[in-house]
Amino acid sequence: MATSNNVVRWTTLVLRVVLGGIFVYAAWAKLRLPWQLFAMSIDSYQLLPTSLVELLAKTLPWFELALGLVLIAGWWLRISSTIVSALLLVFFSLMIRAAIKHQEISCGCFGPGETISWKTMLRDGSMLAGSLFVTLMAFVSRRSRTPRPAALPLDGTRPEPDPSLPPSASR
Amino acid sequence: MRLAVIALTAVLAAGAAGPAEDKGKVLGSSTAPLRLEVYSDFACPACRTFHEQTLPMIVHDYVMNGKLAIVNHEFPLNIPAHKHSREAANYATAAARLGIYEPVADALFRSQESWNETGKVWETVASVLSADQQKKVQALVKDPSVPAEVQHDVEAGTREKISSTPSIFLIRGAQRLPIPFPVNYGFLRSLIDGYFK
């Protein structure tokens, strides 16, 4: 049981760091180039007005960078992993939509120059699966760490204090 | 037609191109600080849209004033739906050697649906050439160096990991930026203008 818990814990850790690293890399790939290139990638999905495209092109890479770093650090894990999962779900859905509409457009995932294909969909789908697993584990581990109130014995007597706990905790 | 006229003016103003380029496929000055490399397939509808809608604006705004040069490359896709693309690329390359690439490219894009279905590529090309030019293009297209030049473009595109057409690159010195398609001209203009501020 302890071994399987360890496997789950290590898998979650590795997935979290890998996902965080991918987000940092994706942000760097966009930030090192003029924002207009990412704007053209977003615009090719033909979903948003130009003003929103421009705003997103200028801000999303910074958001991805922050999310990636927070994920690697393991801070606010339930919130950060949920946002990453939601973001990946949006990206993945947009790719599927583009594929259904036979749009041969740049994915925009890691800067320009990568057309949407089964490879990009497989990659983003895998990332989404990994992210959902990390999110699930973040909530499960949180619940298992939350102490439950001790049940009172049926005969109404006070439970014996746990000798392994410090006095203040056993009171 | 409009592009052909603008292009002809630009070609006349053009100087020598780089050693690996076909000078006849370069629009603009060799001293232009920016270059736009375009890999296209004459049977590709998206290439036609770019050629007929976006390219004339780029030529008007940046090629005519010497800020940018356009370098055309052939990238006939090896798919059944484009079975006459390579033949079209060969004719366009032959025409480029006579300095009449743009009128031929214009005609091929304009009638792409027709020749792509019937296979009458030469008829489309011939429609914009004089009798003398027709003879010269027919002679040139039989020269092995013409298909070899098209193949050279295809290999260069493959090295660039091109998987679809049109594939467009904006080049400034050593920097080579892939331009996502479809091109939003407002963003492209903002990008190019940024280099001249």
Given a cut of 90, is residue A106 above it in pLDDT?
no
- A138-164 mean pLDDT: 61
- A43-55 mean pLDDT: 94
Please tell me if residue A12 touches chain B, with a CB cutoff of 8 Å: no
Please tell me if residue B80 touches chain A, with a CB cutoff of 8 Å: no
Q: Indicate whether A48 belongs to any domain.
A: yes
Task: Please state, for a pLDDT cut of 90, what percent of chain A lies above it.
Answer: 65
Given a cut of 60, is residue A83 above it in pLDDT?
yes
Q: Which of B61, B13, B36 is nearest to B181 (CA)?
A: B36
Which of A30, A32, A33, A36 to probe by mutation at the B interface, max B CB count within 10 Å?
Answer: A36
- Domains contained in chain A, number: 1
Nearest CA in chain A to B175: A33
Residue A144 is predicted with a pLDDT of 66
Name residues whose C-beta falls within 8 Å of residue B54's C-beta, 6 or more positions apart in sequence. B183, B185, B188
Q: Indicate whether A125 belongs to any domain.
A: yes
- Can you give the residue ranges of every domain in chain B? 2-195
Residue B158 is predicted with a pLDDT of 93
Ramachandran bin of A75, using left for φ above 0, alpha for ψ from -120 to 50, beta for the remaining angles: beta
Mean pLDDT, chain B, rounded, equals 89
What's the rounded Cα separation, in Å, for the pair B104 and A48? 37
Who among A36, A50, A115 is closest to B163 (CB)? A115
Q: What is the pLDDT of residues A154-166, one digit of tens each?
A: 555 555 555 555 4
Give ipTM to 2 decimals.
Answer: 0.80
Given a cut of 50, is residue B14 above it in pLDDT?
no
pLDDT-derived band at B48, boundaries 50, 70, 90: very high
Q: What is the pLDDT of residues B151-196, one digit of tens each?
A: 999 999 999 888 889 999 999 999 999 999 889 999 999 999 999 9
What's the rounded Cα separation, in Å, for the pair B116 and B109? 10
Residue A111 is predicted with a pLDDT of 83
Please tell me if residue B178 touches chain A, with a CB cutoff of 8 Å: yes
Task: Please state, for a pLDDT cut of 70, what percent of chain A lies above it.
Answer: 81
Q: Indicate whether A146 belongs to any domain.
A: no
pLDDT-derived band at A102, boundaries 50, 70, 90: confident
Q: Indicate whether A168 belongs to any domain.
A: no
Q: Indicate whether A155 belongs to any domain.
A: no
What the block records as the tokens of A47 is 């979903």
Who among A34, A54, A108 is closest to B180 (CB)? A108
Least Cα separation, residue B177 to chain A (angstroms) = 8
Given a cut of 70, is residue B17 above it in pLDDT?
no
B111 phi/psi in degrees, rounded to 5? -105, 25
Q: Using CB atoms and an 8 Å cut-off, which of residues 105-144 of chain A contact chain B?
A: 105-106, 108, 112-113, 115, 117
Name residues whose C-beta falls within 8 Å of residue A56's C-beta, 6 or more positions apart in sequence. A39, A42, A48
Given a cut of 70, is residue A97 above it in pLDDT?
yes
Residue B75 is predicted with a pLDDT of 96
Q: Indicate whether A97 belongs to any domain.
A: yes
What's the rounded Cα separation, in Å, for the pair A103 and B22? 31
Mean pLDDT, chain A, rounded, equals 86
> Do A115 and B177 count as a contact with CB atoms less than 8 A apart?
no
Q: What is the CATH number of domain B2-195?
A: 3.40.30.10
Please tell me if residue A33 touches chain B, with a CB cutoff of 8 Å: yes
- What torsion, rounded to 10 degrees, do the Cα atoms A159, A165, A168, A170 define? -10
Q: What is the pLDDT of residues B94-118, one digit of tens each?
A: 999 999 999 999 999 999 999 999 9
Domain that holds residue A72: 2-141
Q: Indicate whether A153 belongs to any domain.
A: no
Who among B46, B164, B190 is closest to A36 (CB)? B190
CB atoms within 10 A of CB A34: 18
Please tell me if residue A59 touches chain B, with a CB cutoff of 8 Å: no
Q: What is the pLDDT of residues B82-91, one digit of tens each?
A: 999 999 999 9
Least Cα separation, residue A92 to chain B (angstroms) = 19
Residue A140 is predicted with a pLDDT of 86
What's the rounded Cα separation, in Å, for the pair B127 and B130? 8
Q: Which of B127, B130, B101 is nearest to B42 (CA)?
A: B101
